[in-house]
Amino acid sequence: MNGSAAVVVPVADHIAASGTIGTDHAREMVRRMVSTDFGRWSEMVRRAGYCRSPIRVHGSVTISDTGRLVYTSEDEPDRTLLIRCGNRRATACPSCSAEYKGDVWHLLKAGATGGMKGVPTSVAQHPKWFVTLTGPSFGAVHGDACGSRRSRSACPHGVSRCDRQHSTDDVVLGDPICSDCYDYSAAIAFNWMAPELWRRYTITARRELANELRITEAEMRKLVRLSYAKVAEFQRRGVVHFHAIVRLDGAGDPYEAPKPIPESLIADALRRAALEVAVELQLGTDRRVHLTFGRQVDVRSVQAAIDGDALTPETVAAYIAKYATKASEDFGLDSTIRTSAAARYAGLRDHVIRMIIAAESLSGTEGFGGIGRWLHMLGFRGHFTTKSRRFSTTLTAPRQARRTWREASDPADRSSCPEVDRDWKFAGLGYLNHGDRLLAESARVEAIEARWLSRLDAA
């Protein structure tokens, strides 16, 4: 214990007395602030992006040839190096989630407008569409249709309709009007097969376009290509749906202008393909489901210049990127929810618990192998963001660029340089104590404020 310990107690008591922070946490904070290496600790927290739950590692970096030590965590505060958690969920880590969202936005923006990440601005002129594909109905849910006086015959459980007008934040939105009628197994099967439906959609759209042009697919590939980026989103009812930017490219270089094709033909092909794709699946021995996308297919033209109702590429890129981090957060499902019992314990909506129970009961069924690992995703096992190879840069490209930058400014980050040996050992997750976490969080908020103030100054 250093000489500053004597300072800690009175200052900590003062902080604790003035706010909601407990005395123990206040002591932890003050102890950190008066420590001799507080400057380095703050710097490390800043480099980790003020991550809420950084990974603590011990280790060293040595030059391979000479064995010379260039970095060791032994010299760091607590003899530990902090590294970003990389969690994309905003509730888990606002900083890492914002970083991920920014990366997704960049790759979408690059593919939509060009002018960044090595994509030329000419792609802004390529025809593009914003396509939304939803799941079909698995039973009536609370939503826009509620509150109408239209009489419906009662279901076998005696439920006929919902007479209420729901506010937009009503917690029952997306819940089935009759849970006993709702087809939970089919809803789970849809989420489970959604990536396959999307894959078939991209194939069918190309075939439909060739049909529209009255040429073979091989001939079409010599004229134009379709590339895309898509993001999966959960609706309130727990069914996944897709938003995509589809772009028409030339046949050779992906950023080459396509041969002119009437845009309505392409929009028709994109729409028809959505109505056409289907997957057949056996649900146990006595039931077969025919899974399709919903009949409401939205295909909207994206235009570089604002033209009536048309969307701009920037709007679409920002819109889609928003969903990239939203992921499954609307359900409050984090990856620790591995069973319906855990979901119940976490106080989740009854509807979500029933979805998980349906997934659990399908886990022994042929074709559903491994679904148990995707219960927290309600059976959806795809990536939230995917794109065709030609669309734009990859998600790893901005990360690589950032790492290179970090390495240039911090020898501890030379983790990917080929000429060094690195030896890292996992020491733990999160800050050493709650006081450290509070300090990091307040530093994060301060950094955001400072950024805003500097923008105001510049304006």
Using CB under 5 A, pick the residue from 33, 98, 155, 215 that binds Zn ion. Answer: 155
Amino acid at 374: W
How far apart are the C-alpha atoms of 333 and 375, rounded to whole Å?
Answer: 9
Using CB under 5 A, pick the residue from 157, 214, 389, 455 that binds Zn ion. Answer: 157
Would you count residue 142 as binding Zn ion (CB under 5 A)? yes
Using CB under 5 A, pick the residue from 162, 188, 246, 352 that binds Zn ion. Answer: 162
Residue 51 or 302 having the CB closest to Zn ion: 51
Write out the DSSP string of 334-346: -TT--SHHHHHHT
Residue 55 or 377 having the CB closest to Zn ion: 55
| Residue 347 buriedness (CB in 10 A; 0-12 / 13-18 / 19+) | exposed
How far apart are the C-alpha atoms of 271 and 400, rounded to whole Å?
Answer: 37
Would you count residue 83 as binding Zn ion (CB under 5 A)? no
Residues between 237 and 296 with contacts to Zn ion, criterion CB under 5 A: none
Would you count residue 85 as binding Zn ion (CB under 5 A)? yes
Using CB under 5 A, pick the residue from 15, 110, 124, 146 that binds Zn ion. Answer: 146
Number of residues that bind Zn ion (CB under 5 A): 13
Using CB under 5 A, pick the residue from 29, 51, 140, 375 that binds Zn ion. Answer: 51
Residue 55 or 337 having the CB closest to Zn ion: 55
Would you count residue 82 as binding Zn ion (CB under 5 A)? no
How far apart are the C-alpha atoms of 183 and 190, rounded to whole Å?
Answer: 11
Would you count residue 181 as binding Zn ion (CB under 5 A)? yes
Question: Binding segment for Zn ion among 120-128, 136-144, 394-402, 419-427 (CB under 5 A)?
Answer: 136-144
User: Shortest approach of Zn ion to residue 164 CB, angstroms?
Assistant: 5
Tokens of 341: 């019992």
Using CB under 5 A, pick the residue from 8, 29, 30, 96 that binds Zn ion. Answer: 96
Would you count residue 55 as binding Zn ion (CB under 5 A)? no
| Residue 197 buriedness (CB in 10 A; 0-12 / 13-18 / 19+) | buried
How far apart are the C-alpha atoms of 441 and 444, rounded to whole Å?
Answer: 5
Say how far residue 311 (Cα) sits from the centre of its chain: 22
Report the first-to-last Cα separation within the chain, whole angstroms: 48
Residue 181 or 275 having the CB closest to Zn ion: 181
The pair phi, psi for residue 298, each rounded to 5°, is -110, 115
Would you count residue 299 as binding Zn ion (CB under 5 A)? no
Would you count residue 144 as binding Zn ion (CB under 5 A)? no
Write out the DSSP string of 36-63: TTHHHHHHHHHHTTT-SSPEEEEEEEEE
How far apart are the C-alpha atoms of 213 and 269, rounded to whole Å?
Answer: 10
How far apart are the C-alpha atoms of 392 and 308, rounded to whole Å?
Answer: 27
Would you count residue 180 as binding Zn ion (CB under 5 A)? yes
Question: Binding segment for Zn ion among 86-94, 250-258, 301-309, 351-359 (CB under 5 A)?
Answer: 86-94
Q: List residues near Zn ion by CB under 5 A.
A: 51, 85, 93, 96, 142, 146, 155, 157, 162, 164, 178, 180-181
